[in-house]
Amino acid sequence: MLPPSKRDFVSLTLSESGSYTNSKQWRRQSCWRKWKQLSRLQRSLILFTLMLLLVCGIATSPTLIGHWRDGVVGENVYDGKQPFVVNLKNEYKSILPEPPSEKKDYHRRGPPVLQNRLQTKTNVSGLLGVENQGPDLKNENKGSEEGKPIISWRGAVIEEEQASDTDTKDTEIQDETASLALAESRLEAVREAFRHAWKGYKNFAWGHDELKPVSKSYGEWFGLGLTLIDALDTMWILDLKEEFAEAREWVARELSFDKNVDVNLFESTIRILGGLLSTYHLTGDSMFLEKAKDIGYRLMPAFNTASKIPYSDVNIGKGTAHSPQWTSDSTVAEVTSIQLEFRELSRLTGDPKYKLAVMEVMKQVHKLDGKQDGLVPMFINTNNGLFTHQGIYTLGARADSYYEYLLKQWIQGGKAENELLDDYLLAVEGVKKNLLKKSTPSGLTFVGELSHGHFSPKMDHLVCFLPGTLALGAHYGLPADHMELAKQLMETCYQMYTQMETGLSPEIAHFNMHEGSIQDVDVKIADRHNLLRPETVESLFYMYRFTKDKKYQQWGWEILQNFNKYTRVPTGGYTSINNVRDPANPSTRDKMESFFLGETLKYFYLLFSNDPNLISLDKYIFNTEAHPLPIWPQAE
């Protein structure tokens, strides 16, 4: 029997006929003859070398093996089963870029920039494992830093890492570009809202206290251009130069406090004194300081009481002061929320009388009987200096900013006044113990009220200053559980908007606590109005500054859009509304409060800005009307 090779040869011989084929066959025959002429040893050596080359080739070509494996899977296509999917996937991959949904999933996990930075850091240290390596490996890393070539597996890893690092950087750049564009468009939306409000004020209420945008007229409270003064620092922060310049001219030329007019001590302190002081600090324009000194001086007669607890009203032209006609009481929040402004006035003028007057109030309230676990009643008598109407405790109207100013004075003064801090910490515990409950069905944490031992699940929108204040305290080193509470209350305040048909909060919400209730928030007919108040936006601003969680910006954005939808008056200005539950007819109240420009729009702007240095919370403290005042240098 012929060997296989010979059989091939025979077959070739048999088919010998055409020229090209013949010549090929001839070459094969000649090779075969030469092969036969070799010695057995020579043939063995050649065969061995060829075998060796073949084995080495296969071993060093995993990709070939891979291709081969793919080929095997590919053959399965003919079965009409799983490989069909495999083929589709391959086709999809080769034709389309990375599916957008995968990219989205990646972003959804957290704030993109932070997350990516963290990831990069983890990858680098994790893969190189610098901290966990023995001394030898540490030296090798050092070698690579000095530019020595690395030919080990670590080189490959570094190369791979560099590639993924580039991808991450690309993604970061895209994220940052998109985030900048989004922030800029929202900031511009706030500027546009401000211009629209200003247009109404300028056209129909210039130099007066408040715009009545629907009737295209104005309302007077003190007759001091309240909206214009409240809005000064907002215009400065929003970089509305033209509007600021015309307002400055009015203050310089028209504003006079030499008027026979009764003003409320608290309201004129937080809006006028606070507004002028902060505008002075932001601009350095001494004209504003002179005006601030003038109004501050004219408000001082309010402190001429038997108890040193100030009257609520002052006639700034006559230099007389008095309580309201029906009572000799003042409101606790009012007499304890003028301190930031008067303390700052003393610092700027070098005259201690302003600070001494307001700190006397704090000293007395600190020692007073009638508190419950640090919570204060709502009224205080100007004759005897005692709390009145005891037994009612709220974080809402008439008490709210007492708590806010305890913390803020402590921060303003360089965290040295321990009584203020003690009272604040005690009050937060008092809130937790007496006023904090959960609603049904969603389990929202809310702050109710206590009336002679009876709990009422009623929460004013005013209470929504609290998440921001708690977060500010946590930022300044107070217990971390304050921040946790802030987050829960922030969610509740947002729900007070989002559960309403207009997406705008009512003035007062009642929370359900009974089994089987189908919604958390109920609103009484008399409480359905919205006055364009700032507290929720204010807290969103603090929460975003401290957490960088974009959801707070998103919540604020929804609220701004709803203000635009339901309260914007086409001819200029925004109006308070009567019914947040009736989107078809929210019913206008024809009033734009000065705090809409002083606070609400300012906090929107700061919320949408990603620049933590735009009124840094390490340098400024906002008064309760959103006017930033400097935190004092430690020595003062």
Which residues are annotated as part of the binding site for Ca(2+)? Answer: 624
534 binds ligand DMJ (CB under 6 A): yes
CB of 595 to ligand DMJ, least distance (A): 5
434 binds ligand DMJ (CB under 6 A): no
User: Beta strands of 352-504 (E only): which ranges?
Assistant: 379-381, 387-388, 392-393, 436-438, 445-447, 449-451, 454-456, 458-460
Angle formed at CA 163 by CA 160 and CA 169, multiple of 5 degrees: 140
Binders of ligand DMJ in range 576-595 (CB under 6 A): 595
CB of 533 to ligand DMJ, least distance (A): 4
- In the beta sheet, which residues pair with residue 32? none
- In the beta sheet, which residues pair with residue 450? 393, 455
SS3 of 458, please?
strand
User: What contacts 204, CB < 8 A, 6 or more positions away?
Assistant: 211, 212, 213, 216, 217, 218, 572, 573
**153 is written with which tokens?**
């597996």
The residue among 462 and 580 lying less far from ligand DMJ, judged by its C-beta, is 462
Site string for ligand DMJ, 34-73 (x = CB under 6 A): ----------------------------------------
396 binds ligand DMJ (CB under 6 A): no
- Euclidean distance between CA atoms 600 and 174, whole angstroms: 31
Give the distance from CA 120 to its chain's centroid: 24
CA distances from 120 to 166, 285, 296 (A): 10, 47, 55
The residue among 458 and 533 lying less far from ligand DMJ, judged by its C-beta, is 533
CB of 526 to ligand DMJ, least distance (A): 18
The residue among 462 and 631 lying less far from ligand DMJ, judged by its C-beta, is 462
* Selected binder of ligand DMJ within 396, 625, 629, 631 (CB under 6 A): 625
CB of 408 to ligand DMJ, least distance (A): 12
The residue among 329 and 625 lying less far from ligand DMJ, judged by its C-beta, is 625
CB of 203 to ligand DMJ, least distance (A): 24
624 binds ligand DMJ (CB under 6 A): yes
Angle formed at CA 475 by CA 469 and CA 480, multiple of 5 degrees: 90
468 binds ligand DMJ (CB under 6 A): no
Instruction: Indicate which residues carry an active-site annotation.
Output: 267, 400, 507, 535
CB of 99 to ligand DMJ, least distance (A): 47
- Euclidean distance between CA atoms 257 and 288, whole angstroms: 13
Contact 387, 399 (CB under 8 A): no
275 binds ligand DMJ (CB under 6 A): no
Contact 211, 573 (CB under 8 A): yes
- Euclidean distance between CA atoms 106 and 101, whole angstroms: 9
The residue among 279 and 505 lying less far from ligand DMJ, judged by its C-beta, is 505
**564 is written with which tokens?**
């635009």
Site string for ligand DMJ, 279-308 (x = CB under 6 A): ------------------------------
Number of residues this chain uses to bind ligand DMJ (CB under 6 A):
8
533 binds ligand DMJ (CB under 6 A): yes
120 burial (CB, 10 Å; 0-12 / 13-18 / 19+) is: middle
The residue among 307 and 403 lying less far from ligand DMJ, judged by its C-beta, is 403
Using CB positions, name the residue nearest to ligand DMJ: 624
The residues binding ligand DMJ (CB under 6 A) are 401, 462, 533-534, 595, 599, 624-625
